[in-house]
Structure formats: C-alpha cells, structure tokens
C-alpha cells in the first residue's frame, strides 16, 4: 500500500519561492569591492537571480552545463547559486586558493561553460584563460563603472550581463535528483574529485542544518558564514538561511582579518558565525590584543579541522559565546556530526563538559555512522576503540563525477571517510586523525590532533602541528612544531614538560621546533603533507644517527 501524499519535489527553487513569500524583506549585507557594505534583501537577490537566469539562457548555457565561480562570499555569488541551480544548470564553485594547475585541471574536467570571477581574482583567471577551452563566457563580478581592463575574451561586467533582463523567470519543474552543484575535494594527493550534489540532497541537508540540536538556525538569527562559499557550499548556509529567513551577512574576501570580522559582527549584530579554527584563532588574537569583546555573537560553529579546546574556552570565558564542534567533508555536503550537549550534561562540572565539547559531536538524523577495524568489522562505541569512520545517508556522495567506482564505497554503500575516530557510549565521535596522519609508534597509534590540542592549551602557543618522523626503533615518533603567540617565546623542553600528566608519557613529542608560521591547505587545514616532506630527514634527539 502506498502513502497518499503529494510527490512535491525537494528543490532549491522551492527554498527560493518560500523565502520570497515569507522572508522577502529580510536583509542581506554584502561586502564587495564596489560597495564596502552593500545592503539588499532576499526579494532583490532572487529578482536579480531571475535576471541572471535569463542572461545565462540567452548566452546559450543549457540545462546540465556547469557554471563556474571564482568568488568570495557576497550577494552576487548568492544570485549565481540560485540562478544556475534553479535553471537546471550546475553551479561549480572553484577554490581560488588552489594551485593554478589544479584549478585548470578542475575547470577542464568539469567542462565549465562560463566563469564568474571576482575582480580581485582576475589576474588568476587571466593567466589560466588560454588553458580553459570549454569556458565561453567570462563575467567579472562588478558593475560597469568599476569594470577593469582585461584581456579575457568577451569579458563583461556582471551588472552589464544582467541589465535589462526580465525580473521573473519561468523556473523549470526539476526532478529533485537533478544535479544542482559540484564541488571538487581539495585532495592533497592525487587529482581532485568532483562531488555532485542534487537538489534533494541539498534541501534535506539544509533542513537538517536548521534542526535545534544542529545549527538551530531561526528567523531571528543573523548569520555570518566566514567559511567560503567554495568550501562545501559554505556548509549549507546559503540554503539554510533563506529557508528560515535568517539575516545573512556576507563578508567578502577578508576572511582572516580579525579586526574586520569583529567590526562586522558588532555593526550587524551577528548572532551565529561559522568557520575553520584558524579563522577563530585570528579573531580571538585580535580581540585579546585590542582588548575588545563580542557583544551580540551567541554561538560559533567550528569545523573543517579539529578545534583546540583552548579556542572554545576563550570564546566562552572571555566573550560568553558557545562554540559547537561539527565534523564533515565535501563528500557529506558537509554536515555529518554536530556537538550539542544531551539532556543532563549541562549539570556536569565544567571540565567534563569541556571534554564532551572537544569531541566532534553526534550523528545528525540522516547520517549513519560506524567505525571499523582493519578487518572491516564494526568496533564498539566505548570511547576507546578507534578505527576508520564510515558514513551513509541521503546527503553523502555515492560516487565522484566522471570517475569509475573506486575503493571509497563498500558493497553495502558505506563511504570510507579516511578519518580515524572513536565513538563514546553517548554517540559522540572523536576524530583522532586522518588515516594518513596517524603516527605509528612501536605498533601503537598516537593521535596528532590530541597532541596539538594539548600544545595549544599552553598560554604562549598560538598554533601547533604534530607529524610522525621516521625512527629506527619505534618506526615513527612525534615531532611538534609550534608558532608562539606574538611577543612570547617558548622553550622546547619546557613545552615537553607541559605534556606530562596530560597525555601518556610515550605520546610526548620527542622534539619541539619553534617556527614563524605553519603551512595551510586551500581550505585552511594544517598542511601535514608539506610538513612531512619538509621534515622527512629531521633527526630526533636520541634517534640513531645514520
């Protein structure tokens, strides 16, 4: 017997229509080069998305073709999100921080038809253009008055591109399984892989993001996505915010500028902000140095890399802001787990609550999780056993764009995340490493993330990275690299003593190197591959000379 409910399709167009009807007046504040604090509304953004859809159709871009962006978080980027996907085209966000060769490879692999580029990223686009034969249209994200001179063939300003078009578009009735966007994984090794999201997966993910025990996004929120719109669709915020009618503050390119973020948060009365740990480190350092506080921010969501508990404590103790840890991947749309306390946990002593909050959270409804050992057998949720984390669900990828099935999915459809985790009896996961970052010492595993968190808890340490380096007797031993806080000096031996009693003695790094900065990947994670290469020949004290 079948249910008798309407087969209404879950599409991004439905989010747009809902926001137009219910939240049309809600404000969007956008930082763009030609207007430092541009104010608009959902109504206007979606009206302009219609104009853009006409312009794209008139330019000959057809359903299923890829529409690429090299852009920051601003209102025009949001218009491209909706115009392309709702017209049946496929939005393709490119990460401008990747190596130019990687960007060229990705554009050619996706066969992007047109490319929207921010004026600040124009030199990169110009250098790449001769190698991108599929791109037929170049649109610069600015107005006619500010249109720079560019050798890009037929380049036109965004405002000129959409000018004079009708402000209503006859959006097609799309099947919910239609592709809406594509995002390539940053992949530190091998070629990048394209993850193709569908309208259905995107809508379900946005609804899940809004759940009270997840982002808990409401119409009364003002949300500032510091996470870029090219990093797994800014974690779904461009869909979740219009779904509930939250005010949206789009910070443009200055994502790692603590002073700028603080000013924006205060002037726009931001209640919720999302980003990777390095962003929060920059903001907290600025606030500490400038003696400033946050007066409207209520909660931050941190993901993309493990958040040191010291960051969460600084937000809570100095600014009264709650930090929620989330875990996910480009392949999981990206939300997979979210950390909110369970009933009764509020009453636990603060250190116990801190221990729970440091974990990456519990599976969100829709995402099944399990950890497995080397033999593939499922491991218990006892908070001790750790193994490969596998996930399954309607917003987890089932394959990669134009790639034959590989080893990432097993016969039961579980996706191998490449992360190593344990799960405690309450269901909170803890990511201990990427599989390839785990340090194998004498047959046992050492968690680099736990060592980094312990180092960053030291008052004089700004950032830390731990890698395994070869050791004759133990196979690998941990090497700690740290960046001291401005004006502080850190002595390696003293820091090694700091670890005593905080981690098992045999986990304590064999050596500590003080460096000016640590390398990061294009999505703001510590670049462990670069560090392993740079320190491959590092001789640890006491290791046998060879």
Interface contacts to ligand AMP, rule CB under 6 A: 185-186, 232, 303-306, 325-330, 334, 360, 417-419, 431, 434, 523
Angle at 440 between CA 414 and CA 422, to 5 degrees: 40
Q: Which residue is nearest to ligand AMP (CB)?
A: 330
- 46 SS3 class: helix
440 catalytic, yes or no? yes
450 as an active site residue: the answer is no
Question: Which lies closer to ligand AMP via its Cβ, residue 158 or residue 315?
Answer: 315
Here the tokens at position 413 are: 């459809």
CB 280 within 8 A of CB 294: no
Smallest gap from residue 431 Cβ to ligand AMP (A) = 4
Residue 178 or 185: which CB sits closer to ligand AMP?
185
Shorter beta-carbon distance to ligand AMP: residue 74 or 450: 450
Give the Å distances, CA to CA, from 269 to 65, 75, 247: 39, 19, 10
CA torsion angle 33 36 39 44 (round to 10): -10
* Residue position matching structure tokens 């719109």: 229
State both tokens at 407.
């080893």
DSSP letter string over 123-166? Answer: HHHHHHGGG-TT--EEEESS-STTPPP--STT-EEHHHHHTT--
Nearer to ligand AMP, 16 or 183 (CB): 183
- Terminal-to-terminal C-alpha distance of the chain: 74
Question: Which entry of 185, 222, 330, 332 is annotated as an active-site residue?
Answer: 185
Kindly report each contact of residues 408-415 with a partner whose C-beta sits within 8 Å and lies 24 or more positions away, as own/partner.
408/331, 410/376, 414/370, 414/390, 415/331, 415/332, 415/390, 415/391
Q: H or E stretch including 21? A: helix 12-23
3-state secondary structure labels for all residues of 457-506? CCCCEEEEEEEEEEECCCEEEEEEEEEECCCCCCCHHHHHHHHECCECHH
SS3 per-residue string spanning 52-77:
HHHHHHHCCCCCCCEEEEECCECHHH
Q: What's the closest the beta carbon of residue 397 comes to ligand AMP, in angstroms?
A: 11
From 150, 445, 475, 502, active-site residue: 445
33 to each of 36, 98, 146, 229, how far by Cα in Å? 6, 22, 9, 17
Nearer to ligand AMP, 142 or 330 (CB): 330
Pairing of strands 386-392, 415-423: antiparallel
445 is catalytic: yes
| 327 bridge partner residues | 337
**For residues 69 and 448, which CB has a smaller minimum distance to ligand AMP in the complex?**
448
H runs (alpha helix) in 190-268: 199-210, 237-244, 258-268
Count how many Cα atoms sit within 13 Å of the Cα of residue 252 in the half-sphere of its side chain. Answer: 20
Helix (H, G, I), strand (E, B) or coil at 41: strand
Nearer to ligand AMP, 42 or 239 (CB): 239
Nearest-CA neighbor of 184 among 70, 76, 295?
70
Q: How far is the CB of 26 from ligand AMP (least distance, A)?
A: 28
From 331, 452, 463, 476, active-site residue: 331
* Catalytically annotated residue among 384, 440, 488, 539: 440
DSSP string, 72-125: -BSHHHHHHHHHHHHTT-EEEE--TTS-HHHHHHHHHHHTEEEEEE-GGGHHHH
185 is catalytic: yes
- Interatomic CA distance for residues 362 and 364, integer angstroms: 6
**Identity of the residue, 334 or 366, whose beta carbon is nearer to ligand AMP in the bound complex:** 334
Closer Cβ to ligand AMP, 303 or 509, answer by number: 303
List active site positions. 185, 331, 440, 445
């Amino acid at each position: 017997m079948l249910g008798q409910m309407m087969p209404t399709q879950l599409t991004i167009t439905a989010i747009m229509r809902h926001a137009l009807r219910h939240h049309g007046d809600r404000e969007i504040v956008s930082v763009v080069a030609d207007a430092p604090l541009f104010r608009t509304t959902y109504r206007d953004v979606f009206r302009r998305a219609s104009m853009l859809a006409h312009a794209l159709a008139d330019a000959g871009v057809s359903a299923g073709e890829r529409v690429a962006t090299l852009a920051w978080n601003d209102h025009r980027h949001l218009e491209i999100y909706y115009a392309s996907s709702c017209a049946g085209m496929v939005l393709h966000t490119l990460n401008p921080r990747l190596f130019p060769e990687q960007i060229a490879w990705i554009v050619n692999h996706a066969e992007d038809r047109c490319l929207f580029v921010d004026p600040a990223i124009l030199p990169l686009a110009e250098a790449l253009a001769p190698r991108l034969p599929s791109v037929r249209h170049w649109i610069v994200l600015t107005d006619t008055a500010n249109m720079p001179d560019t050798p890009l063939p037929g380049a036109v300003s965004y405002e000129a591109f959409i000018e004079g078009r009708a402000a209503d578009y006859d959006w097609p009735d799309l099947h919910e399984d239609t592709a809406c966007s594509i995002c390539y994984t940053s992949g530190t090794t091998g070629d990048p892989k394209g993850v193709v999201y569908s309208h259905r997966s995107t809508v379900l993910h946005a609804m899940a993001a809004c759940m009270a025990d997840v982002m808990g996004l409401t119409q009364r929120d003002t949300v500032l996505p510091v996470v870029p719109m090219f990093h797994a669709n800014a974690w779904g915020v461009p869909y979740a915010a219009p779904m509930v009618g939250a005010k949206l503050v789009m910070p443009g390119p200055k994502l790692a500028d603590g002073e700028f973020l603080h000013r924006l948060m205060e002037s726009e009365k931001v209640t919720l902000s999302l980003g990777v740990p390095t962003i929060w480190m920059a903001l907290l350092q600025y606030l500490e140095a400038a003696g400033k506080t946050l007066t409207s921010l209520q909660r931050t969501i941190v993901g993309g890399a493990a958040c040191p508990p010291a960051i969460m404590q600084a937000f809570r103790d100095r600014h009264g802001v709650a930090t929620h840890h989330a875990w996910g991947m480009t392949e999981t749309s990206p939300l997979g787990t979210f950390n909110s306390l369970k009933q009764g946990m509020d009453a636990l002593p603060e250190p116990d609550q801190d221990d729970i909050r440091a974990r990456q959270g519990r599976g969100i409804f829709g995402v099944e999780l399990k950890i497995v050992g080397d033999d593939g057998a499922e491991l218990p949720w006892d908070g001790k056993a750790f193994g490969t984390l596998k996930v399954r669900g309607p917003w987890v990828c089932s394959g990669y764009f134009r790639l034959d099935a590989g080893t990432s999915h097993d016969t039961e459809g579980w996706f191998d995340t490449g992360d190593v985790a344990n799960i405690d009896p309450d269901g909170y996961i803890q990511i201990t490493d990427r599989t390839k970052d785990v340090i194998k010492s004498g047959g046992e595993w050492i968690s680099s993330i736990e060592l980094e968190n312990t180092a960053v808890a030291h008052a004089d340490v700004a950032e830390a990275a731990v890698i395994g380096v070869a050791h004759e007797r133990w196979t690998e031993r941990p090497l700690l690299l740290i960046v001291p806080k401005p004006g502080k000096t850190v002595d390696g031996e003293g820091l090694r003593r700091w670890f005593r009693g905080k981690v098992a003695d045999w986990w304590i790094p064999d050596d500590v190197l003080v460096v000016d900065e640590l390398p990061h990947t294009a999505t703001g994670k510590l670049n462990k591959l670069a560090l392993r290469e740079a320190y491959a020949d590092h001789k640890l004290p006491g290791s046998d000379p060879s």
